[in-house]
A and B are shown apart, each in its own frame.
Chain A
């Protein structure tokens, strides 16, 4: 076969694009992956109390969390990478929360929204877990009872900061690289 000197799409290529510097940029792989991840969080609302009502405002038009790329709310842990625990979690609920967290694929993050999820809040009694970090690793704690929508958005932006700084190796494989 002979080489076609003028392929059919040749006329579509802008002559300026022939210079690689005009069509590509260089970056670190980690920065690029983290940039994609932080701007396309798929949240899973684990709503157990009034914080979940506040979260409805966050995703609705007035506060519009899609400005931060986190509006694709999924109700399946298989399709989400950021679980928001919105409300009181009792001891009996602990295994349920853990199971849902375990079903999420890596990479995954946890935001404890409101004082109940963060520390038990004003419940110090026979039934309420004193913070969900007893069963799942929490990345960001959002204070408030309930937090304002701005507070929840601020928490998600803090998580974006954390993702920017984080590595792209799966958390459970990290020890294999560091030997720790």
Chain B
């Protein structure tokens, strides 16, 4: 079990470790970039807590990572990272969850932060992360005939795919 710097966490995010302390896996504050890795099961609650109680009003970005060729190896292959920004306090925090390679699934947070809607579609499109409860989890960047998830490390770097059929009117 990794040692968690509870004091650091408490000083930066008061009340967070009280509620989610047992689900926090790592905390780092590298050059002022506060990053908290937590269990996927509490991600949704943690985001709601950060939004409502600690006033992180904006979800700036959600993106995924494929760590399969990362050195040193990570605990799981995929990670999803949530970047939050507080307009009122002018500070940021980053939440990170690791997801299993065989079942890269996590709860959608589109109803907590509306901006998550398209970010989650992007992470699905490019990495194949499934966001459970998302209202419209379809590709957003690649065309509708595309197969696979091109930013995964096992996707060939020259894996160009032709568009075969006309674009469907709905679901663009």
Contact = CB atoms under 8 A, between A and B. Distances in A.
B161 A126 contact: yes
A126 B143 contact: no
Given A91-B143, A92-B142, A92-B143, A125 B158 contact: yes
Contact of B167 (A95, A125, A127): A95
Q: How large is the interface on A (under 10, 10 to 19, 20 to 34, 35 or more residues)?
A: 10 to 19
21 contacts: A91-B162, A91-B163, A92-B163, A94-B163, A95-B163, A95-B166, A124-B157, A124-B160, A125-B150, A125-B158, A125-B159, A125-B160, A126-B142, A126-B146, A126-B155, A126-B159, A126-B161, A127-B141, A127-B150, A127-B160, A130-B160
B38 to A, nearest CB: 32
Interface string A121-132: 000111110100
Interface of A: 91-92, 94-95, 124-128, 130
Main SS of chain B's interface residues? loop
Interface string B42-56: 000000000000000
A126 to B, nearest CB: 4
A94 B143 CA distance: 10
A92 B146 CA distance: 10
A127 B142 contact: yes
Nearest to B157: A125
Contacts of B150: 125-127
Leading 9 A-B pairs by shortest Cβ distance? A126-B150, A92-B143, A126-B159, A91-B163, A124-B158, A91-B143, A126-B160, A95-B167, A94-B163
Most B CB within 10 A of own CB, among A91, A124, A126, A127: A126
Nearest to A126: B150
Contacts of B167: 95
A91 B158 contact: no
Contacts of B142: 92, 126-127
Interface in B85-134: none
A147 to B, nearest CB: 24
Interface in B130-172: 141-143, 146, 150, 155, 157-163, 166-167
A127 B142 CA distance: 7
B123 to A, nearest CB: 16
Contacts of A124: 157-158, 160
A91 B161 contact: yes
B140 to A, nearest CB: 11
Nearest to A96: B167
A92 B125 CA distance: 14
A126 B149 CA distance: 10
Contact of B160 (A91, A94, A95): A91
B128 to A, nearest CB: 14
A125 B160 CA distance: 6
A92 B165 CA distance: 11
Nearest to A93: B143
Contacts of B161: 91, 126
Given A95-B166, A125-B150, A128-B160, 4 more contacts: A92-B163, A124-B157, A126-B150, A126-B155
A95 B157 CA distance: 24
Contacts of B160: 91, 124-128, 130
A127 B160 CA distance: 6
